[in-house]
Chains A and B, each alone.
Chain A
């Protein structure tokens, strides 16, 4: 089945220690998104790629970076995680800007 895959599902990192979260898709969608979701809140868009075109949200901290080496993969790098970065990180894809988004299962990040 075509899907969006996120690894790992649970990630524990230490305060200030860089961490990378990964997302892959078999849907061959053009757009890939990264969201941060804190408990009992709506997802908050961090950035997205439309093909290789990177779009950063204005309020996304510089601590968060992303890479999309090819159509299938997208990575979220957190350079120096703080306690406030503990959250669920969701990857999503869509075939184009106006269409629905398909979400992966998420990676729950814990910062100790």
Chain B
């Protein structure tokens, strides 16, 4: 069965520091990969996605992620965070095969950016 593991439940970081939020998945088939951000009391917003092509994906708000097939990872990075990046971040995967329409979600990583 497919699963998504976000290795850190909470990541505290100082403003303007770099950050990496880690995501690993287990799947015997190819997947599509997504990162979403959720601000308090709001819905989820797509940060970036990997469907195919270049393994380095750039998203909104200065975030990027790299798909590593051999390590089954899709870590999210930002070189310099702002206070406004404080939010919950979710990694999600969808298997490529068939008509599966379901996203498999990680448990989320809470990013706290401190001044």
Interface residues on A, range: 20 to 34
Query: Complex Cα distance A4/B34, Å?
Result: 19
Q: Kindly list chain B residues whose C-beta atoms are within 8 Å of the C-beta of A6.
A: 43
Q: Which of A42, A94, A102 contacts B106 (CB 8 A)?
A: A42
Q: Kindly list chain B residues whose C-beta atoms are within 8 Å of the C-beta of A45.
A: 102-103
Taking a contact as CB atoms under 8 Å apart, the answer to whether B94 and A98 are in contact is: yes
Query: Complex Cα distance A90/B51, Å?
Result: 24
Residues of B within 8 A of A (CB): 32, 34, 36, 41-46, 49, 51, 90, 94, 96, 99-103, 105-108, 110
Query: Complex Cα distance A48/B100, Å?
Result: 12
Query: Complex Cα distance A111/B58, Å?
Result: 41
CB of A104 closer than 8 Å to a CB of B = yes
**Sample (28) of A-B pairs whose CB atoms are under 8 Å apart:** A4-B43, A6-B43, A31-B101, A40-B108, A40-B110, A41-B108, A42-B90, A42-B107, A43-B44, A43-B90, A43-B105, A48-B101, A88-B41, A90-B44, A92-B43, A94-B101, A97-B101, A98-B32, A98-B51, A98-B94, A98-B96, A100-B34, A100-B49, A103-B36, A103-B44, A104-B43, A105-B42, A108-B41
